[in-house]
Amino acid sequence: MNKIVLYYSRTGNSKRVAEKISEGLGVEIIPIVDENKYKGVFGFLRAGFNAARWKKVKYNVDLEEKINDDTHVYFVSPVWASHSASAVYSFLMDNDIKTKSIVFTNSASSPGKAYYAMEEKFGNFQNKYCITKSKNNEDEIIKLILKEGSN
């Protein structure tokens, strides 16, 4: 099965993580770009408000048929109000991805609610990971992702 990394990042954490996974697994990485930039306090509030309600957003992704039923997609996304970022769930609303894993980055909360929300909406994610700033677990989780991804 071939693999690909798709990510959204507002402030760079998920981008850094996505790059490490792409490099470690030797697979392509593609950003999902939200047309909204969510700048400043109002941007932050709008991002959380949208995500909590699964509000669909406009996004751009340069995929050109790189995904088929034999592709395992790693989605890397910040947690936004116990959901993924809006660009990531909006992409999943438009594309039925059979084999997928989610890699969240977040600041402090437990990812359980976000895992539950995403699986209830989009079905099974083969692997679920969360890199949490307050736990300082980035190196440990990246190592696990690369180990499980190279099996």
Q: Which helix (H) or strand (E) holds 142?
A: helix 138-149
Question: Least CB distance from residue 132 to ligand FMN, whole Å?
Answer: 7
Alpha-helical (H) ranges within 26-135 are: 40-52, 86-94, 112-122
CB of 25 to ligand FMN, least distance (A): 19
Instruction: Provide the minimum distance between the beta carbon of 71 and ligand FMN in the complex, in angstroms, as a whole number.
Output: 23
Q: How far is the CB of 54 from ligand FMN (least distance, A)?
A: 14
CB closer to ligand FMN, 48 vs 99? 48
Nearer to ligand FMN, 14 or 125 (CB): 14
Residues 6+ apart with CB under 8 A from 55: 49, 86
What's the angle, vertex CA 109, arms to CA 19 and CA 6, rounded to 5? 25
Our CB check for ligand FMN shows the closer of 44 and 123 to be 44
List residues near ligand FMN by CB under 6 A. Answer: 9-15, 44, 47-48, 78-82, 105-109
Report residue 94: phi and psi, to 5°. -90, -20
Q: Which residues contact 144 (CB under 8 A, 6 or more apart)?
A: 129
Nearest residue (CB) to ligand FMN, 25 versus 79: 79
